[in-house]
Amino acid sequence: MISTLTRTWSAIIFDLDGTITDSAPAITNALARTFTVLGRPVPADAELLAYVGPPLLAAFREYAGMTPEEAAEAVAVYRADDQGKHLLDTAIFPGVAGLLERIHAAKIPMAVATSKTQHNAIAVLEHFDLAQYFTAIVGSTDTETRSSKADVVAEALERLAAAGADLSQPVMVGDRRYDAEGAAAHGVPAILVEWGYGSPSEAAEATATVYSADTLGKMLLG
């Protein structure tokens, strides 16, 4: 892994939770309510934070030890809660909105590839007036037919290509190893941000890491 890159990127794909938005409180609170509805012990806050970022089906199986059927039920309960009034209990990380505006002004096409459901991702980005900057906003489907990060990134790349974007030098920006792995499945390098929800060990999966929006801007725009 290297900490800096010098490259002209032709397209940029952003993760949402932990990269653009500080949404952990809303997500962990919804998870706590989900475990309560399911009649399961509610994990500690630090344990719930691990669920922020990865596909939910995988997270419930990996972290809660659920069977595929139990995980599917948990996702359904979570989705019903997540679409409610708590969806917008979130904030934009410092400097990120300005960076998105600058990238858009530089005419570099951008997409969002998130494990959040697509309609919720659109709702959040529209609420903060950020949807205008993205050529495509791609999330998981309600039925989890598109759930893995690799599948979400694939759809984002397809929509960028359909819009005429140059995909000769794409890059993924995220905060968890799932972002790096999902991008790597398509030969796309990944930059992980340190202000998100990933652990230091996850940085090993990235092409580079950054500690601030200013540093990210220099890496993306030169």
Known catalytic residue at 22: no
CA 106, CA 22: separation in Å to the nearest integer? 25
Instruction: Identify the bridge partners of residue 27 per DSSP, sorted by sequence position.
Output: none
137: β partners:
112
Counted residue by residue, the chain has a size of 222
Q: Among residues 15, 17, 22, 179, which one is catalytic?
A: 15
Instruction: Say what angle helices 68-82 and 56-64 make with each other, to 10 degrees.
Output: 120
Cα 210–chain centre separation: 16
Residues 6+ apart with CB under 8 A from 126: none
Report how far residue 203's alpha carbon sits from residue 195's, in angstroms, rounded to the nearest whole number: 12
DSSP letter, residue 219: H
d(CA 129, CA 8): 27
Reduced DSSP (H G I as helix, E B as strand, rest coil) percent helix, strand, coil of the chain, to 5: 50, 15, 35
Instruction: State the catalytic residues.
Output: 15
